[in-house]
Amino acid sequence: MEIFNQHRDRITIAILALGGEGGGVLADWIQVVARQNGYVAQGTSVPGVAQRTGSTVYYIELARIGAAGGNRPDPVLAMMPVPGDVDIVIASELMEAGRAILRGFVSKDRTTLIGSTHRVYAISEKSALGDGTGANARILDAAERRAARFIGFDMAEAAQSAGSVISSVMFGALAGSGSLPFSREAFEDAVRHGGKAVAANLKGFACGFDAAGRSNPAPAEATGPRAPTTPAGRALHDRLGRSLPEDAHPLATEGVARLMEWQDARYAELYLDRVEDLARISPALAAPAARHLALWMAYDDPIRVADLKIRATRSAHIAREVRVGSGQLLRVTEYMHPRLQEVCETLPRRIGSRILASDGWRRRLAPFFARGRHVETTGLRWFIVLRLLAALRPLRRGSLRYAMEQERIGRWLNLVRDVARSDADAAVEILGCQALVKGYSDTFERGIANLETILSLVESHIIGAPDAAAKIALLRDAALKDEEGKALGCAVSQVVPTRAAS
């Protein structure tokens, strides 16, 4: 194994870790192994603002004892990493590796970068109306180009599979990288010296050590579309294979599977009818229609939410995540706040619409849904309530919400058809406007209002324009930028002349 820094008298290490990931424990282990092997070690840390708005930076500096003569005084070690002067950077998450690169801690001529490739999304990424996730591929590319050596794999997954914590996996990756002049046994002794969860930490250490030792860690296997498991599913899969362009097959297959799970085979047939109709007008519409139509047709309603919350697979996932022991019981308490409107939309169309149209009924019933509730979904009472609600799925077609969504979808698809006959590119952009339809409650209503605004502008001012596709894309992207609609308002003023708008 190649050993980096073996002959250096001074070694600098920076660790960037999120709150609760054991960065401090990792820093302590490194100092223990260094001191036990003839080095002076010093560690400092600067905490971030919060667990995800900023990470903690741990800095460790090692100096060989007795280097350059026995009469030399004790070394004076730095308190913080200096750009261009860091030998090893360890990042607990991909975006933290990117931050290390941006801050200049990673140098092409000297730095070994050890980073986990998984993501813990920031609040700004999760709250974005559109796709707010960071550019993961760009960070990986920068890590390969900017570092003298990059060792990257999913350390969170390795920790999960080992039943350990990510700090032990990072420590194993550091040992396996050969970046420090210490043996594997010396690293393991440092873990034992800590005295806490030794067996689990050594198992995580071994996973990290083995992964770092592979020159090219095995990439995660790509998952293809779900294979049909029922006769109805196989029949629909064969049908889309004959009727749709090849590039639409994966999306349409996933769409059929999702809608059969959401409702039934007949609903999936309606989905294919709609996609095939657009594909006949222009094959270029097939793939985007397969994607966006499936997302809209499988909208979130109380029936769907109840079904998801009581699934055995969800309970098993939570149990794995919190590591429930064999002698422990799992209790899950969730916050739910269905509004009167959402409850009425789940009722039969005539009943729900009458209640919503009646001021008297709304006034009487609104107090029952004025506040949220913390409910124990693993308890018998609320499990039965959710199970009964999920059992309404066969009756969903008669609900007010179903009628409302099918009407909205119909208007959207009719506009796509009208535009596609003369401008397929603009029709594709209209299909992409489905991205505005997401979530529930106020978020859903804002998205629908923005979508209605854009569709109305397309009908009144954009159809037939030479740059219709660009204008629709501008409006859609603006609607996804903020909740207040300020960006959309500015975009409308650009697309529609003031005189025409008035």
Other CB atoms within 10 A of residue 397 CB = 14
Q: In this model, does residue 7 exceed pLDDT 60? A: no
Backbone phi, then psi, for 165, in 5-degree steps?
-120, 160
pLDDT for 322: 84
- What percent of the chain clears pLDDT 70, i.e. is strictly above it? 92
What span, in angstroms and rounded, lies between the C-alpha atoms of 494 and 492? Answer: 5
63 in Cβ contact with 39 (< 8 Å): yes
Does the CA dihedral 404-405-408-410 come out positive or negative?
negative
Element containing residue 270 per DSSP (H, E): helix 265-281
Q: Considering only CA atoms, which of 160, 210, 152 is closest in space to residue 184?
A: 210
> Tokens representing 446?
């804002």
pLDDT for residue 22: 84
Average pLDDT over residues 278-288: 96
What are all long-range contacts of 62-66, with beta carbons under 8 Å and residues at least 24 apart?
Answer: 62/10, 62/11, 62/12, 62/13, 62/34, 63/9, 63/10, 63/39, 64/9, 64/10, 64/38, 64/39, 64/40, 65/38, 65/39, 65/40, 66/38
Alpha-carbon span 165 to 340, nearest angstrom: 44
What integer pLDDT is reported at residue 216 of this predicted model? 54
Residue 3 has pLDDT above 50, yes or no: no
Residue 308 has pLDDT above 70, yes or no: yes
Structure pTM?
Answer: 0.78
% of residues, the chain, pLDDT over 90: 69
- How many angstroms separate the CA atoms of 269 and 13, rounded? 58
Element (H or E) spanning 205, and its range? helix 198-213
Question: Do the beta carbons of residue 476 and residue 437 sit within 8 Å?
Answer: no
Please report the DSSP string for 291-322 in residue order. Answer: HHHHHHHT---HHHHHHHHT-HHHHHHHHHHH
pLDDT in the model for residue 72: 64
Lowest-confidence segment of 3-12, 185-194, 343-352, 357-366 by average pLDDT: 3-12
Q: Are strands 88-91 and 112-116 parallel, antiparallel or unpaired?
A: parallel
What does DSSP say about strands 10-17 and 88-91: parallel, antiparallel, or unpaired?
Answer: parallel
The mean pLDDT value for 275-298 works out to 97
Higher pLDDT: 282 or 5? It is 282
Two tokens, residue 465: 């324009």
Is residue 423's pLDDT more than 90? yes
Q: Which of 317, 264, 278 is nearest to 431 (CA)?
A: 278
What pLDDT, on a 0 to 100 scale, did the predictor assign at position 145? 93
Question: What is the mean predicted confidence (pLDDT) over 279-284?
Answer: 96
Half-sphere exposure of 326 (CA within 13 A, CB side): 0
Coil, strand, or helix at residue 251?
helix
Q: Do 433 and 455 contact (CB within 8 A), yes or no?
A: yes
* Of residues 409 and 131, more confidently modeled: 409
Beta strand 333-336 with 149-153 is: unpaired
**64-89: pLDDT as tens digits:** 887 555 556 678 888 888 999 999 99
Q: Span 42-66, mean pLDDT?
A: 78
What is the pLDDT averaged over residues 374-389?
A: 93
Residue 481 pLDDT class (50, 70, 90 cuts): confident
- How does DSSP classify residue 481? T
| Mean pLDDT computed over every residue of the chain | 89
What pLDDT was estimated at residue 41?
92
Triad 172, 177, 180: Cα angle to 5°: 90
Indicate the length of the chain as a whole number: 502
Structure confidence at residue 71 (pLDDT): 59
Question: pLDDT tens digits, residue range 106-162?
Answer: 999 999 999 999 988 877 777 777 777 778 889 999 999 999 999 999 999 999 888
CA distance 332 to 334: 6
Tokens standing for residue 371: 């506040």
pLDDT of 499 strictly over 50: no
- Look at residue 6 in the predicted model and tell me its pLDDT: 53
Helix (H) or strand (E) segment spanning residue 357:
helix 349-357
What pLDDT score was predicted for residue 132?
A: 74
Give the model's pLDDT for residue 501. Answer: 45
Q: Is the dihedral of CA 451, 453, 458, 462 positive or negative?
A: negative
